[in-house]
Chain A
Amino acid sequence: MGYQAKFEVWRGDSSGEGSLQHFDVDVEEGEVVLDIVHRLQATQAGDLAVRWNCKAGKCGSCSAEVNGRPRLMCMTRMSTFTEDETITITPLRTFPVIRDLVTDVDFNYVKAREIPSFAPPEDLEPGEYRMTQIDVERSQEFRKCIECYLCQNTCHVVRDHDENKQEFAGPRYLMRVAELDMHPLDVRNRKEDAQEEHGLGFCNITKCCTEVCPEHIKITDNALIPMKERVVDRKYDPLVWLGKKIFKREELEQRDATGKLSLDDAGPENGSPLPADSIGPIGS
């Protein structure tokens, strides 16, 4: 193979101003868009800013928009384009530009901090955790997230309405709430929080987060909608309300959530004792 491709790359600074700069650049067989950006750096634009890390689709650093579509540059093969096509690369549109293709994604770190952390039962010692595979699988799917922020970038709630950034945590962090709510040993009730603190109601399930997820996590179907349904449980479901009245289900559920029962289920064996030496100077 090997041909000259036409590229339009956004060059600009933190004021947001900038323009698309044209490049003609060599492309070899088997390359991805990030390879081409690196070639531009090495040969034509030494200061072209791009954020990247593993180049294997595992770290979620090289997010950008290729021909207007939010993508990881390392996972966008050049063979998906025709040779005469002009390929346009622009920075994530929802976040402020730092320089060129690099954006300031601190919004996401701020949102991450607003979600109360994992809360295990207080009397459960390390090494005593017992969980079955089927109980952890749902949350495990969400923990595949590589935090590329493509979903946060694509979600129209903040992409098209910057003012919603205050109240809306975005798909990645609503998924985090779902992950914790489905964690078999998390004892905190997160349902009302999802709606009232993290803006679940803003989501109109139009599924763009799922469409752009490079890890193919079913964000909408497995996290956001189940979370909306869990909110309905607490707030709007007539049968659940009736059931609670009749069977005092609330209490049952509370006991469910302590995780105490899951220990009983798994039997009395609680793992091997720590080697005496290991407790030594480390006493955290």
Chain B
Amino acid sequence: MAPGTEAAGAAGGTTPDVTHHTYDVLVIGAGGAGLRAAIEARMRGKRVAIISKSLFGKAHTVMAEGGIAASMGNANSRDNWEVHFRDTMRGGKFLNNWRMAELHAKEAPSRVWELETYGALFDRTAEGKISQRNFGGHQFPRLAHVGDRTGLELIRTLQQKIVSLQQEDHARTGDYESDLKVFHEFTVTELIKDGDRVAGAFGYRRPTGEYICFHAAAVVLATGGIGKSFKVTSNSWEYTGDGHALAMRAGATLINMEFVQFHPTGMVWPPSVKGILVTESVRGDGGVLRNSEGKRFMFGYIPEVFKEQYATSEEEGDRWYTDADNNRRPPELLPRDEVARAINNEVKEGRGSPAGGVFLDVSSRMPAETIRKRLPSMYHQFKELADVDITAGPMEVGPTCHYVMGGVEVDPDTAATSVPGLFAAGEVAGGMHGSNRLGGNSLSDLLVFGCRAGAGAAEYLDALPTAPAITTEAVDSALEESERPFTVQGDENAYTLHHELQQTMNDLVGIIRRADEMETALKRLAELTDRIPRVGVVGGRAYNPGWHLALDLRNMLLVSQCIALAALERQESRGGHTRDDYPTMDENWRQQLLALTFAPDAEGLQVKLTHQDQTAMRSDLFDLFEMDELKKYYTGDELGGHRAGQGA
């Protein structure tokens, strides 16, 4: 995986050299979506480069624990794509892009089966099929899984498929990297366009600081999320909203940015691991939430819209684990936003655990041996990171910033953004999950839309009359921006600014939001916008984390402004967006999407917000729901097209 061989300029010297590479498709991001997109584009005959900020195979996808949601019907034959589609729409409070939800539910099984042909080894049912487990918001056991390390299996499988494609190329050309190359430990700082169209990307090689310019007519963004804008997060350092910011600066639109998922169960102790995820499978496999009084408080938090699907007594909830057909599920398995808010409330009202969370207990629910067998990496994680034995006592957990539902607006079928040649898939794309994502729908999202983005990019190239070109000016301007921290001799420290940004977002645009707090947040973010250009760094360009952070900061700031602005605008509570001052869901807001574009002004606000209508659901999909349920989400006018209305 040697980098380009042309020389890089010495750090700190005069204008450094730029190495140029040309590919058909450039995939930015090497997580599940990026790798799947690269595989698809390569299999369609394109030369593909994959850019990864970290080492190849370390993407944040490895953190996914629970599984991949796909209605294969292995555990319960009544499951099918329609049920999955309904669950997804319900979870997203009907704000989802329904076409994406439809494609996702239909194609997820094939994408999972495909992984087996790449060598994945999922846990099995007694008949030898892929085993599927229960998860919050899913009506049937649906998550294909491998213990609690499904994300690792997904990444490793795709990584090994990439290697196998490289081996095929090697057999043909004598070079493993002739047509598919992974540039790992590279960061893209800017997309470059030719007129309206994408023409490539500019970035640097992290180990050396060497600048690099990719010429590619199709670019797939698969950069993941934005969690590093928040203080308590389950996300790794890579999640700085690069793709969101790159797309915006290139002219694309973001939607749904107010919806940020706080996972209900992150570790709260010790402080150094605060935010690290405790998988939902702990609850799916029988773990229960208790407050300091020992009460299973979730029974008090079942919202009206879910009353019929959830157990109302502990006895019924407990019976469900062994007999799911005749009992309703326990409320610990409500969608994530509901559980996160409930925990938040318990803590706020003084019934929290010593470290400021609540208790998640499996130790009293199953034998130690079973826990170690079913939740090995959780057992391991608590033992080694916190010195806590989860087979002996309860864990302390609390909400942690986990996932952004919002992202780049894309065409569902091709993953194309509004910028020709630019595609987006995975967490960086918006719409699929509406206002709240169900657990397990992320990994399947990566695969389904990663695949579609790769295909979309390939088709775009096939129809492209002329290749775009990159001008020297564009490269110079991107270079200048990257060099700025070295040239300004600034007095601001990147680590301090990052800390302030995270604190602001956590405190003022966190899980429960209020108008006045968000206005304060926007003011502080505008101040930070002024200070970021003054960030200076010490050292050279070679593997300099201070410099890397300085460059990432502007992306984090841009997405933070998007989140704060959209959250202030949406005057209701829905899914991953909870307003203290507007505590209920308002059906008039359901079909409103908040769209954000890049438009820097003099006051430090870089974002423009507009309202956009959600397109009405296709009638055959609409008819999959019962009228009674739709009434909870839709205004009376919107219900006219339903079969119930027409039959009458």
A interface residue numbers (CB < 8 A to B): 13-14, 28-32, 35, 41-42, 46-61, 74-75, 77, 79, 98-100, 102, 104-106, 109-110, 112-113, 116-118, 120, 124, 126-127, 129-133, 136, 139-140, 143-147, 180, 183, 186, 216, 262, 265-267, 269, 271-272, 274-275, 277-279, 281-282, 284
Return the 10 tightest CB-CB contacts between A and B, nearest first: A30-B270, A47-B539, A118-B119, A117-B164, A130-B128, A46-B546, A49-B543, A126-B113, A42-B495, A127-B113
CA distance A252 to B222 in the complex (A): 47
Q: Which of B106, B131, B238, B381 sits near A277, CB closer than 8 Å?
A: B106
Q: 12 A-B residue contacts at CB 8 Å?
A: A30-B386, A35-B272, A47-B537, A54-B58, A98-B542, A100-B543, A109-B56, A113-B163, A117-B119, A146-B152, A272-B80, A272-B109
1/0 per residue, CB under 8 A from A, across B71-110: the answer is: 0111000001100000000000000000000010011011
Contact, CB under 8 Å: B387 / A55: no
Instruction: Indicate whether A183 sits within 8 Å of B106 (C-beta atoms), given known contacts A46-B493, A284-B40.
Output: no
B interface residue numbers (CB < 8 A to A): 1-2, 39-40, 43-44, 54-58, 60, 62-63, 72-74, 80-81, 103, 106-107, 109-110, 113-114, 116-119, 121-124, 127-129, 131, 146-147, 149, 152-153, 156, 160-161, 163-164, 166-167, 170, 176, 207-208, 236-238, 269-273, 276-277, 377, 380-381, 384-387, 413-414, 451-452, 455, 459, 493-496, 499, 537-540, 542-547
Contact, CB under 8 Å: B164 / A58: no
What's the minimum C-beta distance from A57 to chain B, rounded to whole angstroms? 6
- Apart from A54-B63, A75-B384, A131-B121, what are 9 other A-B pairs with CB-CB below 8 Å? A46-B537, A61-B58, A110-B1, A113-B167, A126-B113, A127-B110, A136-B122, A271-B113, A284-B114
Interface SS of chain A: helix, strand, loop or mixed? loop
Contact, CB under 8 Å: A267 / B127: yes
CA distance A46 to B547 in the complex (A): 9
In the complex, chain A residues whose CB is within 8 Å of the CB of B147: 140
Instruction: Indicate whether A131 sits within 8 Å of B538 (C-beta atoms), given known contacts A30-B386, A147-B57.
Output: no
What's the minimum C-beta distance from A83 to chain B, rounded to whole angstroms? 17
Contact, CB under 8 Å: A46 / B272: no
What's the minimum C-beta distance from B529 to chain A, rounded to whole angstroms? 22
In the complex, chain A residues whose CB is within 8 Å of the CB of B540: 47
Contact, CB under 8 Å: A269 / B127: yes
What's the minimum C-beta distance from B490 to chain A, rounded to whole angstroms? 12
**Chain B: CB-nearest residue to A72:** B384
**Chain B: CB-nearest residue to A104:** B207
Contact, CB under 8 Å: B44 / A284: yes
Contact, CB under 8 Å: A282 / B176: no
Contact, CB under 8 Å: A77 / B413: no
Q: Which of B80, B146, B538 sits near A140, CB closer than 8 Å?
A: B146
Contact, CB under 8 Å: B538 / A282: no
CA distance A30 to B236 in the complex (A): 19
Instruction: Indicate whether A59 sits within 8 Å of B62 (C-beta atoms), given known contacts A75-B384, A117-B160.
Output: yes
Contact, CB under 8 Å: A274 / B152: no
CA distance A127 to B538 in the complex (A): 54
Contact, CB under 8 Å: B451 / A54: no
Contact, CB under 8 Å: A32 / B63: no
**Chain A: CB-nearest residue to B81:** A275
What's the minimum C-beta distance from A225 to chain B, rounded to whole angstroms? 21
Q: Which of B63, B119, B413, B537 sits near A183, CB closer than 8 Å?
A: B119
What's the minimum C-beta distance from B522 to chain A, rounded to whole angstroms? 26
Contact, CB under 8 Å: B109 / A28: no
Q: Which of B44, B166, B207, B459 sits near A99, CB closer than 8 Å?
A: B207
Contact, CB under 8 Å: B117 / A282: no
What's the minimum C-beta distance from A170 to chain B, rounded to whole angstroms? 16
Q: Which of A99, A105, A139, A265 sits near B121, CB closer than 8 Å?
A: A139
Contact, CB under 8 Å: A59 / B81: no
In the complex, chain A residues whose CB is within 8 Å of the CB of B118: 118
In the complex, chain A residues whose CB is within 8 Å of the CB of B455: 281-282, 284
Contact, CB under 8 Å: A278 / B107: yes
In the complex, chain B residues whose CB is within 8 Å of the CB of A267: 127
CA distance A116 to B167 in the complex (A): 8
What's the minimum C-beta distance from B488 to chain A, rounded to whole angstroms? 15
**Residue from the set B44, B62, B128 with the largest chain A CB neighbour count within 10 Å:** B128
In the complex, chain B residues whose CB is within 8 Å of the CB of A79: 387
In the complex, chain A residues whose CB is within 8 Å of the CB of B80: 272
Contact, CB under 8 Å: B272 / A28: yes
Q: Which of B73, B152, B166 sits near A272, CB closer than 8 Å?
A: B73
Contact, CB under 8 Å: A46 / B495: yes
Q: Which of B1, B123, B207, B493 sits near A102, CB closer than 8 Å?
A: B207
Contact, CB under 8 Å: B270 / A131: no
In the complex, chain A residues whose CB is within 8 Å of the CB of B128: 130-132, 262, 265-266
Contact, CB under 8 Å: A53 / B377: no
CA distance A46 to B462 in the complex (A): 47
